[in-house]
Amino acid sequence: MKTLHVLRNPNDKKARDIAANDEGSSVLLIHDGVYAETENAYKCKDDLNARDLPGDGLTYDDIVKLIVEHDKVIVW
């Protein structure tokens, strides 16, 4: 089962650890979560831009596609 972990808080170590150890899962960083130093995570483009952070991110259309591709979504 493919799980998408959506992280909103960059300081939630428990959520980051669970997501990192969930084999075959994906991680999406939104809101202040884009500040997190998480490898292989997707980031919301609008949240990066709102915080003047560099990097490419996913558009809302891309995020919807990502959600649909997963069997389960957990928002932390």
Predicted local distance difference test score (pLDDT) of residue 7: 97
DSSP string, 61-73: HHHHHHHHHSSEE
Average pLDDT value over all residues in the chain: 95
Q: For 63-70, what is the mean pLDDT? A: 97
Where are the alpha helices (H) located in the chain, listed in sequence order?
A: 13-21, 45-50, 60-69
| pTM, rounded to two decimals | 0.93
Nearest-angstrom CA–CA distance, 2 and 71: 5
Query: Is 54:68 a contact under the CB 8 Å cutoff?
Result: no
Residue 60, domain CATH: 3.40.1260.10
Q: What confidence tier does 38 reach under pLDDT thresholds 50, 70, 90?
A: confident
Range of the domain at 40: 3-75
24 pLDDT exceeds 90?
A: no
| Domains in the chain, number | 1
Nearest-angstrom CA–CA distance, 42 and 33: 11
Q: What is the DSSP letter of 58?
A: B
